[in-house]
Amino acid sequence: MQTLTVELEDRSYPINIGAGLLQQKSLLQAAVPARDILLVSNTTVAPLYAGAVREAFADRRVVEVILPDGEQHKSLSMAGRVMRACSRTITSTRGKVMKPAWNRLRCKRSWA
């Protein structure tokens, strides 16, 4: 595995590069400490990799948003779709409504 670091002062983050990284559950869990995870993918990539992500985080809540494939779908409309999915993900514990999921999710965005 090779690791590159994006240097952004207090917002720096690593990018891990290598074969089979999705099968390294401990590496993924260390990189994503959140209890709730938002998995945003598309109709081409999700069938290939979403299952491995769900399996790596089987002990956590994974909310999936699968978008259509293609550059024409990278739009504010699709961003709105992601935000609506977050807003519908509200948990209730002992009669108390918790904050919407986007307040608890620790998301990193990645655009190819």
Report percent pLDDT > 90 for the chain: 28
How much is the pLDDT for 46? 93
Q: Is residue 58 part of a domain?
A: yes
Q: Is residue 110 part of a domain?
A: no
Q: Is residue 15 part of a domain?
A: no
| Domain of residue 38, residue span | 22-103
Q: Where are the alpha helices (DSSP H) in the chain?
A: 25-31, 46-56, 76-88
As a whole number of angstroms, the distance between CA 91 and CA 2 comes to: 38
Q: Is residue 14 part of a domain?
A: no
pTM for the full predicted model:
0.68
As a whole number of angstroms, the distance between CA 38 and CA 106 comes to: 8
State how far Cα 1 lies from the chain centre: 21
Q: What's the CATH number where 73 sits?
A: 3.40.50.1970
Q: Is residue 1 part of a domain?
A: no
Please give the tally of structural domains in the chain.
1
pLDDT band at 88 (very low <50, low <70, confident <90, very high): low
As a whole number of angstroms, the distance between CA 87 and CA 93 comes to: 17
